Amino acid sequence: MTSTLLVTGGAGYIGSHTCIELLQEGHQVVVLDNLSNSSPEALHRVEAITSKAPIFIEGDIRNPALVRDILARYNPEHIIHFAGLKAVGESVKKPLDYYANNVSGTLVLCQEMAAHGLFNLVFSSSATVYGDPASLPIRENFPRSATNPYGRSKLMVERMLEDLYLSDPRWNIAILRYFNPAGAHPSGLVGEDPADIPNNLVPYISQVATGRREKLQVFGNDWSTADGTGVRDYIHVVDLARGHLCALRQLSQGCGLKAWNLGLGRGYSVLEVVSAFEKASGQTIPYQFVDRRPGDIAACWADPASSQKDLQWSAEKGIEEMMADAWRWQSTNPDGYSRLSGPERLRKLDR
């Protein structure tokens, strides 16, 4: 069954890939994004791939009148809520920005949803809410903690949503805890476009491969892992996007509040990722070992059993495909969307 959805943060990395999957399934997509970390060009590319245009509204989720207006105008059946800030290091320097965007933004959204009588929400959470896990793989019922303002903002929203559900069982809330999204759309048209120096491993390696950065700094080779470098569960962004469509089906069936891990279910070390990227790209990635990054953990990977069972979802694309798609995107768009974005805007509400 197709429906109308509001996708907050839909011009961003994961949001744009999710819009592609939604449009290809025949849904009508309304994107609300303030473009603080994205370009409208991403949505032009979404349209180029799907031959369908999402409706785009440039604006902030913290603007209650705007959210109210959009809900009244489009009457969506579900909201997929990606909008937020996501850089751990920046969150330490600007904690209030993170609480304002991630916590207050979600608060405004939920207030306006309730006032409109809309109770179906998919929320982008993160494996960061598991802190430094006592054992692996990580299951959804593991204890939660956070070591930085970004992680705390995600945890605070999770707790807020739990309280909300307890107060009113009409809510259906899918909390999706992403592990490490990587890769790009196989077309090479849509991918990750960090505004600044990339914080994350795969976009950093991609920029080293095109010569934009000199070498990768590997944060620590003395972790208690097989080769001493950090281990993470990388998941292809298209698999991740598909997970949202599976979550929507759960909302439609009245799932209540549920949290699901979205990960591959196995870990790769930094050196294994470097080697997979080199193989996929034919490029050599120079690197040097440096000190551990504050706040990092040795290893983290998901137990995806609940998502497989409840959502009928599992990741289909392995590390080779993630790296090949990341390279296709980066090598054909070495400057990301920047050269093409300009003042162009997709259709906007006349406000």
Binding site for ligand UDP (CB under 6 A): 180, 199-201, 204, 216-219, 230, 232, 270, 293, 296
Chosen residue from 5, 6, 7, 12 binding ligand NAD by CB under 6 A: 12
Beta carbons of 174 and 123 less than 8 angstroms apart: yes
What x-and-dash track marks residues 142-161 binding ligand NAD by CB under 6 A? --------------------
Residues 158-197 that bind ligand NAD (CB under 6 A): 178, 181
Among the listed residues 13, 98, 130, 150, the single catalytic one is 150
Look at the alpha carbons of 334, 340, 343, 349 in this order and tell me if their dihedral is positive or negative.
Answer: negative
11 near ligand NAD, judged by CB under 6 A: yes
Residue 37 binding partner per list ligand NAD, ligand UDP, none, with a CB distance cut-off of 5 to 8 Å that depends on partner kind: ligand NAD
Question: Which neighbouring-strand residues pair with 174?
Answer: 122, 258
Judged by beta carbon, residue 16 or residue 180, the one nearer ligand UDP is: 180
Residue 64 Cβ, how far from ligand NAD at the closest point, in Å? 12
74 or 289, CB closer to ligand NAD? 74
Site string for ligand NAD, 42-81 (x = CB under 6 A): ------------------xxx-------------------
- Binding residue for ligand NAD (CB under 6 A) from 21, 33, 41, 233? 33
122/216 with CB nearer ligand UDP: 216
Q: Which does 13 bind (CB under 5 to 8 A by kind): ligand UDP, ligand NAD, none?
A: ligand NAD
Q: Which does 230 bind (CB under 5 to 8 A by kind): ligand UDP, ligand NAD, none?
A: ligand UDP
Which CB sits closer to ligand UDP, 210 or 217? Answer: 217
204 binds, among ligand NAD, ligand UDP, none (CB under 5 to 8 A by kind): ligand UDP
Residue closest to ligand UDP (Cβ): 230
Question: With CB cut-offs between 5 and 8 Å by kind, which of ligand NAD, ligand UDP, none does residue 232 bind?
Answer: ligand UDP
99 is catalytic: no
Q: What's the min distance (Å) between Cβ of 35 and ligand NAD?
A: 5
Encoded amino acid at 228, one letter: G
Q: Is 243 in the site for ligand NAD (CB under 6 A)?
A: no
The residue among 71 and 270 lying less far from ligand UDP, judged by its C-beta, is 270
First to last CA, the chain: 32
Nearest to ligand UDP of 40, 137 (CB atom): 137
Which tokens is 32 given?
């609300």
Q: Quick one: three-class SS letters along the chain?
A: CCCEEEEECCCCHHHHHHHHHHHHCCCEEEEEECCCCCCHHHHHHHHHHHCCCCEEEECCCCCHHHHHHHHHHHCCCEEEECCCCCCHHHHHHCHHHHHHHHHHHHHHHHHHHHHHCCCEEEEEEEHHHECCCCCCCECCCCCCECCCHHHHHHHHHHHHHHHHHHHCCCCEEEEEEECEEECCCCCCCCCCCCCCCCCCHHHHHHHHHCCCCCCEEEECCCCCCCCCCCEECEEEHHHHHHHHHHHHHHHHCCCCEEEEEECCCCCEEHHHHHHHHHHHHCCCCCEEEECCCCCCCCEECECCHHHHHHHCCCCCCCHHHHHHHHHHHHHHCCCCCHHHHCCCCCCCCCC
29, 85, 142, 235, 302 from 78: Cα distances, Å: 10, 22, 28, 24, 26
The answer to whether residue 36 forms part of the interface with ligand NAD (CB under 6 A) is yes
- Of residues 110 and 129, the one with the C-beta less far from ligand UDP: 129
Binding site for ligand NAD (CB under 6 A): 8-9, 11-15, 32-38, 60-62, 82-86, 101, 105, 124, 126, 178, 181, 200
Q: List, by residue number, the catalytic residues.
A: 150
